[in-house]
Each structure stands twice: as structure tokens, then as C-alpha cells.
Structure 1
Amino acid sequence: MTTRFGYTLMTEQSGPRELVRYATLAEEAGFDLEVMSDHYFPWLEEQGHAGYAWSMLGAVSQATSRVDLMTYVTCPIMRYHPAVVAQKAATMGILSDGRFTLGLGAGENLNEHVVGRGWPPVNVRHEMLAEAVEIIDALLGGEDVSWSGQHYRVDSARLWDVPEQRVPIACAVSGRQSIETLAPRSQAMVAVEPDADLVRMWDGVKGGPTRKVGQVPVAWGRSKDEAVERAHREFRWFGGGWKVNAELPGPAGFAGATQFVRPEDVADSIPCGPDVDAIVEAVRPFWEAGFTDVALVQIGDETQEEFLKVAQAELLPALREAAG
């Protein structure tokens, strides 16, 4: 299966108008898909943005015509009710002419605490996600849904505007339990680590190969020192891992948790500087593990336009040649 390469529209580091412009430039550069984060807060104050993803996705759907679009990922358990997520996804399916995939995950305290309902333990969050996916799946399938479950109630819901091509669901998973729970109602897998075991487990439950979408942060730049400094300034939160990151309540918490992370620590995990081959090698483990799609995160708003030019001229050809 041919590996497809994507561009991440990072709502935490760029404003809404800029992201729509980058979306058009990324399509022109030759990326196959564009994924968008869905946050209420940035991880760090230095990033400085957190526009409403669904408004921007609607604009991007009209500014582009070819690339696939995807949330990476939306949390449907607290800040949004599952019935409303289904409605948004169906509308995006229409606006994008079938190019949209609904990426779902169990979320982060960073974004969900704003509705004042606290932050449940991880096992409860996974129960909530499984129930939410079941509701969303039924609504996207055109069903009239009334639901009285452990975590949600739905009263006589139906989607009145649905695309001709059903919106596929992609779910973020981390192990066998989440795969066995979510794979039956999902068409694609999301994971941030190039774990071949996850791929095998997913395909085993699905009964054959399906789509798997990963993501890799990079800090391309003409100067390696500047790129390392930028990656440290805006992406040092990344090293904590999702088990930690999901629990922190806001940018101040991430700043405190990462106060002792050094620039060289970030550079050890994120390719920084002008070396295109280093980016290729950072992405390679994903296609070798069996991922079909890999979205790049270019760190730093001020670098996006130059990065996209380099991606078109050098990086995408190098990635496609290496991936075969």
C-alpha cells in the first residue's frame, strides 16, 4: 500500500486566517492530506493560539479541492456531546465533497476542563469514548437515535444533512483493549508512535489491512541552532508522553512540567535544521510499521511558508522515493 504524506494544521501555533492560507499552500505543494488539531488551549503560552477547529475546517474545505481532511483528533466525551460531533462531521463531509475523516480520541484535561465537569480517570474516559463512538457511528449511518447509556443520553436525534459518501471514523488507540473496543466501529486507526504491534492487532480485529494515520513533529530551518531553539520554545511539552500530557490542566502546568527540559533533549527526539534526510529517517519507522498515512508537524508559525516550498521541491520527493 502506498504511503501518503500529510501536513498538520496546528491550531495552537497559528491564527485562523494563516491556517487557511497554509492549507492552500500545502495542497499546492503536493501533500496528500491535511489534519487539524482541535484544542481550546495551546500546550504552551509561547504557541499563542487556539482557534475553533470546526470553523477553520469549513473554510479549508472551500479553499482546497484535492487533499483529504481530518481532525487529529477531536474529543467527543465532554466539551462536545457526541450527537453534536456527528452533526459537525456530516456537514464537513458535504462541504469537502467526501474528503473528510472524523478522527476521535479520549482527549486531554487541557481542553476538556473548560466545561467545569472535572477530569475523569483514564478508564472512565475510555468508556466514554467507546460509548460516544457508538452514538456517532449510528447517527452517521442515518439512524434515528435515542440513547440512554452509562455516560450519555440522546433524545430522538437524526442528521438531516448527510453526505452521499459516509464520513469514515478514525480512532486513536494505544493497546489491545482500545483496539478491540474501537476498531469494530472505526474505519481507520490513529497512533502517535510507530508501533508495528498496534498495526498487527488492528488489522487482526479488522480482518485485513485498513488505513493507519500517524504524525511526526519536525523543526525544519536553514539554521540548525535556530530550529533547535524554536522546537524547544514551542514543543518541549512533547517529551512528556501522552499519559502525562493528558492529565495536565493548562499551559502553566505544561510550563512547570517542562522547566528542566533542555534544547538538546528536544533535538534528540525531533529532527531540527535543514537536513531533509533527517526528516525522512524520522518518518521511516511509521511506514515500516505499516502506517498508510503520516502527517508532518512543522514547528513554528513563522516558518510555514518556507517549509512548504522546501516540502514541494525536496522533502516530499525524498519521502516518496524512500517509501517506495
Structure 2
Amino acid sequence: MTVPLRFGYKASSEQFGPAELLEFGVLAEEMGFDSVFLSDHFQPWMHDGGHAPAALPWLGALGQRTSRIVMGTSVLTPTFRYHPGVIAQAFATLGVMYPGRVILGVGTGEALNEVTLGLEWPEPPERFQRLKEAITLIEKLWDGERVTFEGTYYSVKDATIYDRPAAEEKVPIYIGASGPAATRLAGRIAGGYITTSGKAPELYTDTLLPALHEGLRKAGRADDAIDTMIEVKVSYHPDADTALNKCRFWAPLALSADEKMGVHDPIEMQRLADALPIERAASRFIVSTDPDEHVERIARYIELGFRHLVFHDPGEDQAEFLRMYGAEILPRLRSRFS
């Protein structure tokens, strides 16, 4: 199977309210983007100016306002705030309403989303096992007429998802991961794999992509059997200072795992991020005034084998970004990799 090359838009639910964000999603379709993804956060990364609209109703609204784009989460955690059965029902409903246009992206989660609700935040091995079990249960509910399931963490008794897509139109599950274990799991069982850009090149070449292919081989799947999606962080503007300083709101992305480990309060996350110099705050982004430089640096991810690139711009003027990227960057990419 040859996976098509697609270009998407990351709708920044941490930065914009739901109504404004919806208009950006509609504009993304108009400007030729192939997909729109958003994260499902209970709280944003930054307290001042932060937002956190619920992903599930927002996706329903986006589907109603658009006709072509693929849409989904990148990512949602189906293991703490939600029972996996609730997610199975919600995405089955979205799949019935918008067949072939919905993706469920899942991951092991962040303390920021769960601890505030009084939930215990376990160590990574348990979070990983919970994710595996949640995916198993979701798939069983989508496949079975009547499901009784008794797992280590979740159970259902005589459960039926009455409104769900036919088997050939079932919503694909993508696994988001930045480590080898969950990446291998994506290769074994998922319909797609999600990771993010801007990290050390050897993380992709020496760790993540080998783990993905190991998982594919263990499951007897071809190397191109699943979609490979990467959120590419870009800051494009004709003015260099503007392109650089747009990244300030997203400075938390530059914090190391140790620096933000266990932080569940956006106020504390903002304090840590505000202490970073702007150069470090922008370090995860492709920051350039030159469209050809953007294309060259994005091309590296395509050449690594990523087939679904979802662009995340950090600025306040998302309409400007969508129009500029849709007019100047996407055509160049499509021409080069046609």
C-alpha cells in the first residue's frame, strides 16, 4: 500500500477559544489543507491567554461546517478523564456522521490534564498498559454486537455501541508517541503513528522510526501499512523578529521532560516557560522568512518517511498563517513531492 502525502493544520486549542478556532478550521479547508487536528486538553500550557475547549463537541461542529477535510485528535487520553467506552461511543458517532473523515488519535497523557481532577498520576509503565487496554476495549466495542470485558483497569458488561460505522468505514486509531515502546505499539496495532518535530535528528533516525518498523515487522505488516503523521512546528513571516517572537506563547514546548515532569498547574508551567530566552522558546520551530527554507527543512521529514505533515504555527494571527502557508508553502511541497 502506498500512503498518500497529506498536509494538515494543527488547530491550537490551547491558544484559541472554540468559536475562533472553528473559523480557522473552516479556512484551512478553503486554503487547501487536507486535515485538521487538535489536542484534547483539560487545561492549556499557559495560564494567561490560554484556552482549553473540549475536543469532542468541537470536532462535531467542524464536521458540520466542512465537507472534505479529515479531522481528529492529536492527541486524546482515553484512560483517565474518560472511560474508553465513552470514547468508543463518541468516535463511533462522529464516524457515522462524517464517514471516512474522522481519526481518533490517542496517547498516554499529561499530568496537566488529569491531576487537577483529583486523579492519581501513575508512572509511565502503568500509563502505557492502560493505553493498550483502552485501545483493545475500544476496538472490541466497535467490532462486537454485545461486549463483556474484564480488564486490569477497565470493564464493561453487556455493552453495545448501537450507532457505529460499518467495518470498512471504522474510525482509525492513531497512537501518539515520543518514545520507543508506544511507537512499537503503533506499528503493531494502530492505523497511524503521531509524533512531533523539532527534536534531535537522531531521535527519529535511531530510535522512533526503527521502533515503528520493528512493531510493523512483529505484526507482519508492510513498512507502509500505516499513516505516519508528524506535527511540524513552523513560524513563517516576512519579518524575522515577528517570526521569532510569535513562538513565545509556546515556550513550554521547549521545556525538557524533567523540567515539566508532574507539573499540573498552567500558572506554574507559564512561570517555567517565561524564564526561557526567546531563542530557546523558539527552538522547536522552523523559524524563517524564506518559503524555500521552510520547504527544505520540511522536506527532511518527508524524506525520513513521514506521509502526513500537520503544521502548527504559534502566532495569534492564524488566518494570516493559513493564507500564507496555503498560498506559498503547500504548492511548493506538492510540486516537489508530486
**Could you tell me the TM-score, scaled by structure 1's length?**
0.92
- Secondary structure at the aligned position of 2:14 is classed as coil
Equivalent position of 1:78 in the other structure: 80
Equivalent position of 2:109 in the other structure: 107
1:275 aligns with 2:290: yes
Return the alpha-carbon distance in structure 2 between the equivalents of residues 246 and 189 of structure 1.
24
- Percent identity for Structure 1 against Structure 2: 33
1:200 aligns with 2:216: no
1:136 aligns with 2:105: no
1:220 aligns with 2:229: no
Check conservation: 2:80, 2:114, Cα contact below 8 A.
yes
Equivalent position of 1:40 in the other structure: 42
- Secondary structure at the aligned position of 1:130 is classed as helix
Aligned-pair CA distance for 1:99: 0.7
C-alpha RMSD of matched pairs (Å): 2.0
| 2:128 partner amino acid | H
The C-alpha deviation readout for 1:29-60, integer Å capped at 9, x for no partner, is 11111111111111012442111111110000
**Alignment CA distance shift 1:181-1:216 (3 Å):** closer
**Alignment CA distance shift 1:242-1:67 (3 Å):** farther
Uncovered stretches (5+) of structure 1, i.e. residues with no partner: none
Equivalent position of 1:316 in the other structure: 330
| 2:231 partner amino acid | Q
Uncovered stretches (5+) of structure 2, i.e. residues with no partner: 198-203
The C-alpha deviation readout for 1:115-138, integer Å capped at 9, x for no partner, is 312211111111111111110111
Aligned-pair CA distance for 1:255: 2.1
Aligned-pair CA distance for 1:97: 2.2
Check conservation: 2:188, 2:216, Cα contact below 8 A.
no
Aligned-pair CA distance for 1:157: 1.6
| 1:60 partner amino acid | L
- Of 311, 319, 331, the residue aligned with 1:305 is 319
Return the alpha-carbon distance in structure 1 between the equivalents of residues 262 and 187 of structure 2.
25
- Secondary structure at the aligned position of 1:102 is classed as strand
Check conservation: 1:134, 1:185, Cα contact below 8 A.
no
Return the alpha-carbon distance in structure 2 between the equivalents of residues 32 and 257 of structure 1.
35
**Could you tell me the TM-score, scaled by structure 2's length?**
0.88
Aligned-pair CA distance for 1:71: 0.7
Aligned-pair CA distance for 1:243: 6.7
Return the alpha-carbon distance in structure 1 between the equivalents of residues 260 and 63 of structure 2.
30
Aligned-pair CA distance for 1:229: 1.7
Check conservation: 1:171, 1:183, Cα contact below 8 A.
no
| 1:320 partner amino acid | R
Check conservation: 1:35, 1:70, Cα contact below 8 A.
yes
- Of 177, 182, 199, the residue aligned with 2:181 is 177
1:145 aligns with 2:141: no
Check conservation: 1:12, 1:50, Cα contact below 8 A.
yes
Aligned-pair CA distance for 1:242: 5.3
**Alignment CA distance shift 1:144-1:286 (3 Å):** farther
- Secondary structure at the aligned position of 1:258 is classed as helix
Higher mean alpha-carbon deviation, 175-184 vs 275-284, is at: 175-184
Return the alpha-carbon distance in structure 2 between the equivalents of residues 279 and 141 of structure 1.
43
**Alignment CA distance shift 1:201-1:277 (3 Å):** farther
Equivalent position of 1:166 in the other structure: 170
Return the alpha-carbon distance in structure 2 between the equivalents of residues 258 and 86 of structure 1.
35
Equivalent position of 2:51 in the other structure: 49
Return the alpha-carbon distance in structure 2 between the equivalents of residues 214 and 244 of structure 1.
23
Check conservation: 1:137, 1:185, Cα contact below 8 A.
no
The C-alpha deviation readout for 1:179-218, integer Å capped at 9, x for no partner, is 4445443211112254432443343244111211110112
Return the alpha-carbon distance in structure 2 between the equivalents of residues 212 and 142 of structure 1.
28
